[in-house]
Every structure is written in C-alpha cells, then in structure tokens.
Amino acid sequence: MFEFSPAAFAKRLTELPARPAPIPVGTYSQYLQEHVFDVLRQGKPVDLTALDFSAFSFSDVTPDYYPVLAARNDDDWAQGFNGYVKRTPAVPCGEASFF
C-alpha cells in the first residue's frame, strides 16, 4: 500500500514550471505621450522608422485592461484546478499521477 509522502509531493511541486507572475499594471511614458499619442490625436501617422523602441519599457506599453484580464484568467484556472482536486478520491492510486 502506498503512503502519501509530503517530501515527495513537495519535491514534485518544485519540479513543475513556476506559476506565471501577475502582469503588472501599465506605467505612463512621457516619450509615448509626445511621440505617439499626441501625434495620433492630431490625426497624423506615427513614423515607425523614427520611433525609438528602447525609450520605453514593456510596462509602458501594457494596455489598461490586460493585467485585469490576466488576473481573471489566473483565478479561472485556479478554480478549475480546485474542481479537479475536489473530485479526486482520497485513495492511493498506485502510480505517479494527481488526477
């Protein structure tokens, strides 16, 4: 009969890929304000060849909705996982599997 081994379970958890970090809320960039949005607001196109992509970070180009969407997606997956765990019988399986 197999016994639950906390050490083996903890070791298995460390072998799994890391949980994705939350997408941070976007930050404001003065560069984007002047060189992109002020230009577009005037009805003019933004010159892609002149835009300096090193002048802003990924945080500066995070849409407002995206961190919220990503956090909701994470919650949905956690709920789905909980649903699986609840349906798992509390008996030894005899092989290495969770579900």
Interface residues with other proteins (CB under 8 A) are: 11-12, 15-18, 20, 23, 26, 28, 32-33, 36-37, 40-41, 45-49, 51, 53, 56, 58, 61-66, 69-70, 73, 77, 96-97
Q: Considering the complex, state which of residue 33 and residue 82 has its C-beta at the smaller distance from other proteins.
A: 33
- Smallest gap from residue 59 Cβ to other proteins (A): 10
Q: Measured between alpha carbons, how far is 6 from 92 in angstroms, rounded to an integer?
A: 14
| Entry field: residues in the chain | 99
Q: Considering the complex, state which of residue 76 and residue 89 has its C-beta at the smaller distance from other proteins.
A: 76
Q: Among 20, 90, 29, which Cα is nearest to 57's?
A: 29
Q: How far apart are the first and last CA of the chain?
A: 18
